[in-house]
Structure 1
Amino acid sequence: MHKDLGALSKPTIEKCDLCIVGAGAAGISMAMDWLNQGEKVVLLEAGGFEFETETQALNQGTNIGQRYYSLTATRLRFFGGTTGHWGGYCTPLDPIDFETRPYVPNSGWPIDYDEFASFLPRASKLVEIDDRTWNLEDYIANKKDYVSLDLNSRVFYSKLFKFSPPTRFGTKYRKALVDSNSITVYTHANLTRINLHESGQFVKDVEAQSLNGNVLTVNARHYVLAMGAVQNARMLLANNQQQKAGIGNAYDQVGRYFMEHPEVKAGHIFLKRPQSMKLYFFDYMKIKMYSELAIASSAQRAHGILNMTTALFPKELSGDWAWINKLPKDGKQSYDFWMKAEKNTLSRAPSDVDTKKYTAYQMQIRMEQSPNPNSRITLGDKRDKLGTPQPLINWQLTELERNSIRGMNMVLGKELIESGIGRLHAPPWVFDTSLEWPNTLGGGWHHMGTTRMHNDPKKGVVDAHCTVHGMDNLHIAGSSCFTTAGAANPTLSLIALTLRLSKRLKELLA
């Protein structure tokens, strides 16, 4: 069932078993898991079914840290969320990402990798990729033109990426949810208030508003915030009427540990003999898999290096511009940019670039950001049209990120020489600590952390079950619960984590 809050003529009250706030990858994945379950579910979406400039403006915030993208460009505020401009990259977090690593401060998840991985097959189906193994060799065994770099596998390996179509959740799953008798989808329903019981231990109800002033109150047994890392933290902090520091923020943890995946051009590989390296090149969304060069877990531990992968592009084709300098800041312009790029790519004739042989390849690194409590989301003095304080984003990197890139270059350079494959050339900023990050430094628009998972409420916001510490019926879904970021694009992993939470809620409501 669908209701547009903006079209209702009087204040509305809904009673249900489960209220999900946010209809992006996490919120829709959870809602789909509750189809035909018997319980009544309310799914709140801040926008409509299409992009709307006025609604998108509610994402506005101010950057006060490391140079970063506009929040109106990186987030989409309509049904389907940022799956509306998602590129479709799918690869899961690695086992090492869940470990406590002595050289990575604040690392270590309170759940183990195997439990997380058990939900990957179901997550794979939601993003429309196969749920077979993540072993690259099973995909290239009969493809003679897909050849890995002949490096020591104990140091470097080729990590498999699968490509979703990409699945636009707002289109793919809209009909199933709108036609459901047990799920009510509210559009133009922006969360504004979280009202607690006088005990402060559970949520009594939540309020949502449309831009034209209509109000909805939802009274549920359990509530799930699935609005993304920035918005989840923003709403917990803004609802400080009953708990002065904000909900779940008794120990000043909400908004901290904001993580991205730093992406930067970090040098070139020069091969002795020309090689096509087709395995490492992708024709955007035209193939179902490709690979990036990754540093093995044992080498990460040995050298104290963060997790990272390296995409390889022919040097003569890659250029020196950076996405962070090219993309528009305006939400509508950014959305149009991606839609045009996708349309042009899908209509383009097949390219022979992946079959040509080159000797020089540029390295584009996507890396883990170490959990840094000073990298955070806070609230500013400005307010949006609904009266909610706008967020301040303070993205901060540490020396561990720089040291890890430096260490990876040294290890890879050594391996290229010892294997007889070629050599590596790194730009000056990699080894000269007096130089700043280059202007090619950007990110993947992968917002993680801010309500991190930790069993100690002094070190995290949610427990191992993604329940807010001190709250019986308030839970959080999505990558804001990530304890560490890994180097994997987060969509597949955050859906798996959401399905794990969904299973837990079914047990509680039973």
Structure 2
Amino acid sequence: MSESATTDRTPGERADVCVVGAGPAGALVAHSLARRGHDVVVLEAGERFDPASEERRMERHLRPGYGPLSVWDMGGPRDAYTAPGERHYPLNAARVKGVGGTTLHWQGMVFRFHESDFASWPLDYADLRPYYGKAEREMGVAGADDNPFAPPREEPFPLPAFPPSHSDSVFADACERLGVAMHSVPNARNSEPNDGRGQCVGYGTCKPVCPSGAKYSADVHVRKAEAEGARVVDRAPVQRLVHDDAGDRVTAAVYATPDGRTHRQTAREFVLAAGGVEIPRLLLLSRSERYPDGLANRSGAVGRYFMDHLFAGMGGTVDRRTRQHHVGFMTSECHQFYEDPTRATSGTEGGIPAWSGDGPEPGSLKLEFLNYAGPTPVGLALDADEWGDSLLASMREAYGNSVGMGALAGQRPRKENRVELDPSTTDDHGNPVPAIHWRVDDRTLATLRRANEIQRAILDELGADVTWRVGPGNTGPAFHHMGTTRMGTDPTSSVVNPQLRTHDLQNLSVASSSVFVTSGALNPTLTIAALALKAADHVDERL
């Protein structure tokens, strides 16, 4: 930890805005409002990590003596949860509590949702289009306008795209023969020096840590917000929100500090930006006589309609070198099957066959070409029982010819998928922990089967020896928490309005993927950022 023991965590005077959470949404809201002259306080449950510790955190990731939660100091009573649903949800496997939030360990892919993704939302792509452009500039997105299936743009990407990897080139000929379109992946990482940070140098450990700082992390905007006068208080988990006698406005955020004390930060406006699990938990913990079912929960939708993206994958080996793990992120993928995953393609080798499954038709999916399939050299060496020249010969034989594909499939919003409180288990402050009830419906399983069908056709065309598969029976989440404070125009069925303000309280906004109405099948962070910038504009209008 970089902080001193004398860090002042006592509340300031009544602020203009109190932001809960210092991840990408909270950091962008804080910076946007602070640079317009507003007095902003950010309360973050986790610590402020020292950037100088990131090489050590990379070592924790690579060395077998450390568990995955140790990379960013997750676990223990603070991060306790339960998962009593049909399918266990491994919440702590991919979240970080700290200044920067999950962008400290994300892979860094950023997409605009397709226009069709907004069909059930109370706003459309045109409403978010200017905010998407601003979010790309703020985050420094590297990309190319080569995706024929992407929504329209108003300007080029801020930075040039990363070139296709060698692994991508292995796939390219097979995809061309099958009529499958490959295109670049927009990445929130520097392809050239930008915003005071250097370009990517290829550590290859992007998820869970980028020691060079080339990948965007929200602590970038935390520092910018502080330069504009914002105050950021770390290790200050908010315990509950307090409202006025009329129940119309939030008056204070009650937070704890490491010395065992609690404090009240008052503000004119409050913005919740703590993610799709902790935001509904906080609202449920803030129940009162006026709101016995939880704050902002007149609709009963707080915590409901929890969604994630599910992963499908397949891979194996080919009889040529693929340079696996030379790139720690994706440089090519395919949105060709996004709108219509049942479609067939025509190509010189027959193409991809149309969907032939029974039951529900699959939903949206995106295909990914993995640059990091197969074992790493470090992993092979650590698992080996030999040394010296013998080990080197074995590694040369086993490493460097792996290929793999991934895919994301979106879930539909279902009321029974939810986050609620579990009073049988408490955190380090005695509060009920989040309980995640989660199941995967038949339509999503059909989408995963379709993704596997397409992947198998491409790998067969490559002549790959398929050795692994992730599909309907062994899928897992992408850890994109969505839907738990959904947006809508009807206060009886939604939590926030299209301006991201809660229906029930006049000065409480939510900036998070928790407001998503549907999930699509694309990584959500750019949409989170766009909505955060939109929320900041509306807060500014009210101040």
**TM-score, normalization: structure 1?**
0.75
Which residue matches 1:94?
114
Determine if contact 1:25/1:81 at 8 Å carries over to the other structure: yes
- Residue of structure 2 aligned with 1:485, choices 519, 523, 533: 519
Give the match for residue 495 of structure 1: 529
Cα separation, 2, equivalents of 1:463 and 1:236: 16
Deviates more, 1:201-210 or 1:70-79: 70-79
Among candidates 412, 416, 423, match of residue 370 of structure 1: 412
SS of the residue corresponding to residue 292 of structure 1 reads strand
Cα offset for 1:61? Answer: 0.5
Partners of 1:470 and 1:369 in 2: CA distance: 28
User: Gaps (5+ residues) in structure 1?
Assistant: 100-107, 320-325, 327-351, 431-436
Q: 1:311 aligns with which of 364, 368, 380?
A: 368
Does 1:85 find its partner at 2:105?
yes
**CA distance in 2 between partners of 1:505 and 1:448 (Å):** 22
**Residue 463 and residue 314 in structure 1: after superposition, are their counterparts in 2 closer, same or farther (change >3 A)?**
closer
Distance between the aligned counterparts of 1:74 and 1:501, measured in 2? 26
| 1:315-359 alpha-carbon deviations (Å, 9 max, x no partner) | 9x637xxxxxx9xxxxxxxxxxxxxxxxxxxxxxxxx99xx9x8x
Q: Which stretch shows the higher mean deviation, 224-233 or 89-98? A: 89-98
Distance 1:81 1:425, change over 3 A: closer
Q: Which amino acid aligns with 2:418?
A: R
Is 75-84 or 211-220 further displaced after alignment?
211-220
The equivalent residue for 1:115 is: 127
Alpha carbons of 1:213 and 1:409: their partners in 2 closer, same or farther (altered >3 Å)? closer
1:299 has 2:340 as partner: yes
What does the per-residue CA deviation read over 1:28-74, in whole Å, with 9 as the maximum and x for residues that have no partner? 11112123311111111112212885997422101112544543342
Distance 1:256 1:290, change over 3 A: same
Amino acid at match of 1:506: D
Percent identity, aligned pairs only, is 26
List aligned pairs for 1:142-221, cutoff 5 A: 147=172, 149-150=175-176, 157-163=181-187, 164=189, 165-170=214-219, 172-181=220-229, 183-221=230-268
- Correspondence for 2:306: 258
Q: Which has the higher strand share?
A: 1
Deviation at 1:449, TM superposition (A): 1.6
| Letter of the 2:176 counterpart | D
CA root-mean-square deviation: 4.0
Give yes or no for contact 2:20–2:238 (8 Å, CA) kept in 1: yes
Q: Is the 8 A contact 1:16 1:219 kept in 2?
A: yes
- Give 1:174 deviation, angstroms: 4.4
Displacement, 1:423? 11
Match of 1:386 among 429, 432, 435: 429
User: 1:136-182, CA deviations, whole angstroms, 9 ceiling, x for partnerless residues?
Assistant: 799899989854722787xx543531222321322x3444333433x
Q: Which residue of 249, 257, 280 maps to 2:297?
A: 249
Q: Is the partner of 1:162 in helix, strand or coil?
A: coil
**CA 1:259–1:151 in structure 2 vs 1: closer, same or farther (change >3 Å)?**
farther
Distance 2:90 2:450 in 1: 31
Closer/same/farther in 2, CA of residues 150 and 282 from structure 1, 3 Å limit: farther
Q: How far 1:268 moved relative to its partner?
A: 6.2
1:401 and 1:290 mapped to 2: Cα distance?
A: 26
Residue type matched to 2:366 in 1? T
* Counterpart in the other structure of 1:72: 92
Partners of 1:427 and 1:189 lie apart in 2 by: 43
User: CA offsets per residue over residues 427-467 of structure 1, 9 Å max, x none?
Assistant: 9997xxxxxx433x222222222111122233322111111
2: CA distance between counterparts of 1:174 and 1:23? 7
Q: Which amino acid aligns with 1:93?
A: F
More deviation, 56-65/229-238: 56-65
Structure 2 residue runs without a partner (length 5+): 51-71, 150-155, 190-213, 344-354, 356-360, 380-395
- What per-residue deviation string (whole Å, max 9, x for no partner) do you get for residues 236-271 of structure 1? 111112311001222321111111111133x56999
CA distance in 2, matches of 1:143, 1:392: 41
1:234 is paired with a residue whose SS is helix
Residue 300 of structure 2 aligns to a residue in which SS? coil
Verify the 8 A CA contact 1:260 1:448 in the aligned structure 2.
Answer: yes
Counterpart-to-counterpart distance in 1, 2:419 and 2:165: 48
Going from structure 1 to structure 2, the CA distance change for 1:186 and 1:314 (only over 3 Å counts) comes to closer
Partners of 1:412 and 1:131 in 2: how far apart? Answer: 24
Q: 1:438 aligns with which of 473, 483, 487?
A: 473
- Whole-angstrom distance in 1 between the partners of 2:223 and 2:515: 29
The offset of 1:126, in angstroms, is 2.8
Q: How does 1:299-378 map to 2 (within 5 A)?
A: 299-300=340-341, 304-313=361-370, 318=374, 362-378=404-420
- What CA distance in whole angstroms lies between the structure 1 residues aligned with 2:251 and 2:18? 12
Residues 46 and 176 of structure 1: CA distance in aligned 2, closer, same or farther (over 3 Å): same
Asked if 1 retains the 8 angstrom alpha-carbon contact of 2:77 and 2:426, the reply is: no
Cα distance, 1:311 vs. partner? 2.3
CA distance in 2, matches of 1:383, 1:314: 41
Quick one: distance in 1 between partners of 2:287 and 2:165? 60
CA contact (8 A) 2:31 2:222 kept: no
Sort the Cα spacing of 1:314 and 1:175 in 2 relative to 1 into closer, same or farther, 3 A: closer
Give the Cα–Cα distance (whole angstroms) in 1 for the partners of residues 163 and 371 of structure 2: 25
Quick check: 1:189–1:216 contact (8 Å CA) kept in 2? no
1:62 alignment partner, SS class? coil
Residues 288 and 295 in structure 2, CA contact (< 8 A), matched pair in contact too: no
Residues 341, 450 of structure 2: 8 Å contact kept: no
> Paired residue for 1:465, among 459, 480, 499?
499
1:410 is displaced (CA, Å) by 5.5
1:125 aligns with 2:145: no
Aligned residues of 2:271 and 2:510 also touching (Cα < 8 A): yes
Of stretches 204-213 and 217-226 in structure 1, the one that deviates more from structure 2 is 204-213
Q: Contact 2:488–2:496 at 8 Å: present in 1 too?
A: yes
